[in-house]
Amino acid sequence: MNKYLILAFCGFSLQLNAQTKRVSFQPQKKGKQVDIMVDGKFFSSFMYPDSLEKPILYPINTASGLTLTRGFPLNTRDQERTDHPHHVGLWLNYESVNGLDFWNNSYNIPKEKKNKYGWIRSVKVTALKPGPQKGELSYTANWERQDRQVLLKEQTSFIFSGTDHTRTIDRITTLTAVKDTVKFKDVKDGMIAVRVTKELEMPSNQTTEFIDSYGNRTKVSASGNGANGNYLTSAGKKGNDAWGTRANWCLLEGVKEQQKVAIAIIDHPKNPGYPTYWHARDYGLFAANPMGQQVFSNGKESLNLSLAPGESITFRYRVLVSSDETPGADVLNDQASAFSKNFNQK
């Protein structure tokens, strides 16, 4: 029997040759934060302070204790890029929701321009369920205008699990329109995303400039910081060729501190726009955006998702974090197959 055969079990997947570990939670008395522990080791924190424009998981650690997310802007590290301050940890939001930009909002936006940007706030943790093989954290939040008018109600559940060499996050997010019809214009920046450590950036000798939907410019310098990452998609696209292409999973792998590390994002067949487009940049932004079809297809496709008042849509993603070994395409295909059988109730 193939040792990488994956079994669907209790809403998540495990490898036959790997034993799942206990997941527990430690709410912090100071600040709006819940630490996630796997086998007694720190994995990540769910953070939702008033100073952030969205809730995040930060940092993301491997089973061996290496951090795979960028530190900036919360904890800047040496030789690390300091562009795009809205790229923090692992998050989910979108660039155009009824014309408001939720993606690019950060402390860097001047006060006089803030009314053009959305804010995910009023976050409430509704459930913490530790367990011997998995743990679940659920929360609710509002996608709001700056005047606090609510456009969308969010309900999210994270299911965490881990083995000796892996950590897994299954994210299930349901968005419900409140009083008004909510339109998601086809744009580039969305939806689930992670900004990775410098080692997982791709080597580049170019300085690049990016402009958001309101004309704000950000320059990203050439990498000279030990970057050695590379992308691979289920469709066989590698490196920069992964950007703007469809696939049901995408892997980013590299070496940090002489150890193989990797992070993969897996799409779900029930998601809109499946298989998703990948907004996978060489400078360390790794995102799946199923709703930017017009941009990524050069106008050949469009989605322009719209929700009537009271209507909902659900997004499901798996994030697989590996250390000491890099999962091959066979493992990721099995993971995707097992994940596709979960969370089909909506």
Residue 346, in any domain of the structure:
no
With beta carbons less than 8 A apart as the criterion, state whether 267 and 248 touch: yes
Residue 1, in any domain of the structure:
no
Say how far residue 81 (Cα) sits from the centre of its chain.
19
State the sign of the Cα–Cα–Cα–Cα dihedral 274, 278, 279, 285.
positive
- Domain span at residue 99? 6-340
Residue 140, in any domain of the structure:
yes
With beta carbons less than 8 A apart as the criterion, state whether 206 and 217 touch: no
- Report d(CA 259, CA 340) in Å as an integer: 30
Does 10 score more than 50 pLDDT? Answer: no
pLDDT tens digits for range 20-35: 999 999 999 888 999 9
Span 256-260, mean pLDDT? 96
DSSP label of 325: S
Q: In a 3-state reduction of DSSP, which class is residue 39?
A: coil
Q: Enter the tokens of residue 326.
A: 């890099």
Does 2 score more than 90 pLDDT? Answer: no
Which residue, chain included where needed, has tokens 């995303």?
A: 193
Burial class (CB in 10 A: 0-12, 13-18, 19+), 310: exposed
Residue 58, in any domain of the structure:
yes
- The DSSP H or E segment spanning 332 is helix 329-340
Residue 345, in any domain of the structure:
no
CB atoms within 10 A of CB 67: 18
- Report d(CA 103, CA 213) in Å as an integer: 10
Please, which residues bridge with residue 55 across strands? none
CB atoms within 10 A of CB 182: 21
> Minimum mean pLDDT among 18-22, 61-65, 274-278, 292-296: which range?
18-22
For the chain, the domain total comes to 1
pTM over 0.75: yes
pLDDT tens digits for range 216-233: 777 766 656 689 999 999
206/268: higher pLDDT: 268
Residue 294, in any domain of the structure:
yes
pLDDT score for 212: 61
pLDDT tens digits for range 102-156: 999 999 999 999 999 999 999 999 999 999 999 999 999 999 999 999 999 999 9
**End-to-end Cα separation, the chain, in angstroms:** 33
Q: CATH number of the domain that 55 lies in? A: 2.70.98
pLDDT score for 208: 64
